[in-house]
Structure 1
């Protein structure tokens, strides 16, 4: 699905090469999978992005997705936190990718949302729907938080939510996230570093981020090896 490849590019860190391929990016917006309303929203997003100085655009991305965990694009942070389960989930996901001939770059993490979307863009439609349904609750949470922070990335995340479940109804979720303590302030980030310096476990993720008991279509579970 070409739309997921586009979403992958738009959500990824805006590297300098993005500005070298602006015409291709704009052309990709003519995807029939997008409604006229969504096309207009994404066109506005892309136009604003390409009109920005790359350093400013990169700083905005870092300020939203790389400061604090609430807006992290690493999906397993929302499901497993820093627990040991996250490591096994990473192994399973890597095995799934490799089983379908999808190899990651040296610095890419398998649960990074743009990587997941790039992989899914190569998979059959039913498999795409199944995978997106598994992470729809995280996509909704990210979209609601982006809305609450008045981020232009909210439109991109809303398109993903709509692709996953066919609708975008975030009013109740947005009211909930409005009461959350921000974790991207300098003070909050300092507290996190101080806690992690002495903490041996991780706080449990929220109940609404519990992983599904069934793996999505095409996913593999790798049994951990036990050394005698």
Structure 2
């Protein structure tokens, strides 16, 4: 599963090691054989843009894109469970899945970090890797749509992952949903998320209700979790994770 391993590395934080081996990654994608020349073109274009970009600029862009707000987070469960208690159990279950495959996490990243999950899938048999991609295809498609809305080249990597999954989704539904969302990475949105609630006493229930209404209006249209129901339809015979 060399192709998944390469995409995993390109989705990780840009560092000197990655920038020093971009040429090797570009050559490896052609040798992997999982993608047609037409499908490889956007991947090669992405790598070429990376080669022409200063590393510090790439790092700043990465942090601004993936580390601010929930909309483009690379933590998969952020888009499924948000901050609910179910997220903790999902983490435990995913860690058990890693361990059952004989793998242990040796980095500081959470188990649902997308590049880490892709690296895990790359170590599995083609059928298992394809099933794993199919499971997260709705999240990948949503992220791709949001990245295209922000005119980010990273969208090409998500499009490739969706192609490898063999899943077809309703692009129009995604486009409409993303168009209705408010950006959650603006200074105002970030301040609202981290805003501390005031201490309230029992007699302040009326004020509390008014503040709650204001809070709901402020976040109307903002990004929320629970995105797995996106009319995903597996397309027979289109999965191509075979390298």
TM-score range, shorter chain: 0.7 to 0.9
> Which residue is 1:17 aligned to?
17
Please report how far the alpha carbon of residue 172 of structure 1 lies from its aligned counterpart in structure 2 after TM superposition: 3.3
1:7 correspondence with 2:7: yes
Query: 1:95 is paired with a residue of what secondary structure?
Result: helix
* TM-score, length of structure 2 as denominator length: 0.79
1:159 correspondence with 2:178: no
Query: After the TM superposition, which residues 113-132 of structure 1 pair with which residues of structure 2 at under 5 Å, given as runs?
Result: 113-132=114-133
> Which residue is 1:84 aligned to?
85
- Do 1:140 and 1:158's aligned partners in 2 also have CA atoms closer than 8 Å? yes
With over 3 angstroms needed to count, the CA separation of the structure-2 counterparts of 1:147 and 1:196, relative to structure 1, is: farther
5+ residue gaps, structure 1: 211-228
Tell me how far apart the structure 1 counterparts of residues 227 and 186 of structure 2 sit (CA, whole Å): 24
1:60 correspondence with 2:79: no
Superposition misfits of 4+ residues, deviation over 6 angstroms: 196-199
5+ residue gaps, structure 2: 200-211, 213-221, 230-243
With over 3 angstroms needed to count, the CA separation of the structure-2 counterparts of 1:16 and 1:84, relative to structure 1, is: same
The superposition leaves residues 55-90 of structure 1 with CA deviations (integer Å, 9 ceiling, x where unpaired) of 100111111111100100100111111111111111
> Which residue is 1:219 aligned to?
none
Structure with larger Rg = 2
With over 3 angstroms needed to count, the CA separation of the structure-2 counterparts of 1:88 and 1:196, relative to structure 1, is: farther
Tell me how far apart the structure 2 counterparts of residues 106 and 206 of structure 1 sit (CA, whole Å): 26
> Which residue is 1:69 aligned to?
70
Query: 1:209 is paired with a residue of what secondary structure?
Result: coil
Query: 1:104 is paired with a residue of what secondary structure?
Result: coil
> Which residue is 2:143 aligned to?
142
Please report how far the alpha carbon of residue 12 of structure 1 lies from its aligned counterpart in structure 2 after TM superposition: 0.8
Please report how far the alpha carbon of residue 106 of structure 1 lies from its aligned counterpart in structure 2 after TM superposition: 3.6
Tell me how far apart the structure 1 counterparts of residues 87 and 20 of structure 2 sit (CA, whole Å): 36
- Do 2:4 and 2:119's aligned partners in 1 also have CA atoms closer than 8 Å? yes
Tell me how far apart the structure 2 counterparts of residues 209 and 167 of structure 1 sit (CA, whole Å): 14
Of 224, 228, 231 in structure 2, the residue corresponding to residue 209 of structure 1 is 228
1:27 correspondence with 2:46: no
* TM-score, length of structure 1 as denominator length: 0.84
Q: CA RMSD in A?
A: 2.3
Tell me how far apart the structure 1 counterparts of residues 57 and 51 of structure 2 sit (CA, whole Å): 11
- Do 1:139 and 1:157's aligned partners in 2 also have CA atoms closer than 8 Å? yes
Please report how far the alpha carbon of residue 206 of structure 1 lies from its aligned counterpart in structure 2 after TM superposition: 4.2
Tell me how far apart the structure 2 counterparts of residues 162 and 196 of structure 1 sit (CA, whole Å): 44
The superposition leaves residues 87-115 of structure 1 with CA deviations (integer Å, 9 ceiling, x where unpaired) of 11111111111121212124021000000
